[in-house]
Chain A
Amino acid sequence: GENVEQHPSTLSVQEGDSAVIKCTYSDSASNYFPWYKQELGKGPQLIIDIRSNVGEKKDQRIAVTLNKTAKHFSLHITETQPEDSAVYFCAASNSWGKLQFGAGTQVVVTP
């Protein structure tokens, strides 16, 4: 089955700097790659996703890139703000809703 690895497990950045989280996946049939943000005590919430026929997608300060050949995808957050502090999860799926998650990255944005 699918295996998703996520790095780093923790990331501390200064406010205004950029944050990058990287994930690799094993199943070449995976075609959907969402990123979720989880705040303390809440459920994960989708922040951006990308499909296998697209190499890059951007939404304001957030962007995701996908390299199908290397089987890796990354989340980029620019101009980080304190409210970006949370746990971020990448996921991969070959059947849309059924997701295989990475272990998560705790992002801390310090003023």
Chain B
Amino acid sequence: NAGVTQTPKFQVLKTGQSMTLQCAQDMNHNSMYWYRQDPGMGLRLIYYSASEGTTDKGEVPNGYNVSRLNKREFSLRLESAAPSQTSVYFCASSGQGASDPEAFFGQGTRLTVV
């Protein structure tokens, strides 16, 4: 039981390049999330998917797109990377509702845009 798996763990991009961050969970969770973590700012929600087939914007969605490929996988795409997107990205998943609220996080992807 791996939990939430993110790939890659590290990435360096040049300004203007594109890339996709991959996330998969094996806990049969309905909801999945992408957060970014910057020093002194905690984790901020980029996009989330409450269930397969739905996606919604979070607090900081500009410059990102997401795809909920199936129940297990939720990817984050940077179409044209900018230095302001240098951050650590975390994917998370949770059940739904009051009975299963705990969010489980992956190990993170450390992205540097130069």
Most chain B beta-carbon contacts within 10 A, residue among A4, A45, A99: A99
**How many residues on the B side are at the interface (Cβ–Cβ under 8 A)?**
28
Q: Are A97 and B107 in contact (CB under 8 A)?
A: no
Q: Are A98 and B101 in contact (CB under 8 A)?
A: no
Please indicate the chain A residues that have their CB under 8 angstroms from the CB of B59 in the complex.
Answer: 1, 100
Query: Which chain A residue lies CB-closest to B56?
Result: A98
Q: Are B43 and A101 in contact (CB under 8 A)?
A: yes
Q: Are B96 and A89 in contact (CB under 8 A)?
A: no
Tell whether B105 is near chain A: CB-to-CB under 8 Å.
yes
Most chain A beta-carbon contacts within 10 A, residue among B42, B95, B102: B42
Q: Are B96 and A43 in contact (CB under 8 A)?
A: no
Please give the distance in Å from B45's CB to the nearest CB on chain A.
7
Write the residues of chain A forming the contact surface with B, with a CB cutoff of 8 angstroms: 1, 4, 6, 9, 32, 34, 36, 41-46, 49, 51, 89, 93, 96-104
